[in-house]
Amino acid sequence: MSTATMTETAISLDEATRFIWAEADMLDRLDYKPWLPLWTRDGCYTIPVEHETQDFENQLNVAHDDEEMRQARVKRLLSGFSMSAAPPARTVRTVSRFVVTGEGEGRIDLRAAMVLVEYKYERTRVLAADVTYRLVREEGAIKLDRKVVRLANCDDYLHGIGYLL
């Protein structure tokens, strides 16, 4: 930011899209270390089990991570000691069909479609999800404040997932 203002400027859809694509690219390349500082301190990363729920605190989730859990998760996935993540599956994901659902000072809410293809052990699997994001601008940089990944089959059976969604 060239000018230090008291109010944070809004985040445009173009900025948000670039940010989300960069995040997706990071995750497919297992570049998890720079992924951590993409988050705000109170950021929340959630993968619910119930499809319609908003009350993540009082329901079971596949993942419901605060900063500490995200760090522990990344450490685990990169440690080389997790059988399900070493060797990791290869993933290719696209995120698209962005819809802006809310905007405020230094904040944008979006929902998007994600299709992720996983390959491991002679086998290719597809995961589809609706993802909602809340992005905020903190000291000029865009950060992830909320990310909720609602898998299309979240309340049905899944498989072991040894990577980040």
Partner 1 sequence: MSSTDYAALVKQDRVHTALYKDAAIFEEEMERIFKNTWVWVGHESELPGANTFKKSFVGNQPVIVTRDKAGEIRTLLNRCRHRAASVCEKKKGKQSVFVCPYHGWSYDIDGGLRKVPYADGYPEGLDREEFGLIKLRTEVYQGMIFATFKEDIEPLVEFLGPARKWMDLFMKQGAGFGVKVLGEHKFRFPGNWKIQLENTTDAYHFPIVHKTFLDSLDAETENIFDVIGSGGWVEDLGHGHSVMVMIPDLIDLDENLDAPIPDRFAELAEELRAEGHDEDAVRKIVRAVGGTGFNLNLFPNVACSMAFFRVLRPVGVAETEIQHVAIGMGDARTTPSPAGNRARLRLHEHFQGPMGFGTPDDAEGWERVQRGARAGDDLWIMLNRGSEAPEGRPQPGHNAGDASSEVGMRAAYQQWKRMMTA
- Interface residues with partner 1 (CB under 8 A) are 47, 49-50, 57-64, 69, 72-73, 75-76, 79, 81-85, 121, 155-162, 165
Residues 163/89, Cβ–Cβ less than 8 Å: yes
Name which of 69 and 100 has its Cβ closer to partner 1.
69
Long-range contacts of 121-126 (CB under 8 A, 24+ apart): 125/159
Which of 146, 88, 83, 151 lies closest to 116, judged by CA? Answer: 151
For residue 83, the minimal CB distance to partner 1 (Å) is 4
A 10 A CB-CB count for 74 gives 17
> Least distance to partner 1 from the beta carbon of 52, Å?
13
Q: How far is the CB of 32 from partner 1 (least distance, A)?
A: 14
CB 112 within 8 A of CB 20: yes
DSSP assignment of 47-97 equals EESSSS----TTS-EEEEE-HHHHHHHHHHHHSS--TTTSSPPEEEEEEEE
Closest separation between CB of residue 82 and partner 1, Å? 5
- Cβ proximity to partner 1, 72 vs 99, nearer residue: 72
- CB 19 → partner 1: shortest distance, Å? 23
- Taking only Cα atoms into account, the Rg of the chain, rounded to an integer number of angstroms, comes to 16
d(CA 122, CA 58): 38
Measured from the CB atom, the residue of 47 and 135 that comes closer to partner 1 is 47
Question: Of the two residues 84 and 132, which places its CB atom closer to partner 1 in the complex?
Answer: 84
Q: Which is nearer to partner 1, 70 or 137 (CB)?
A: 70
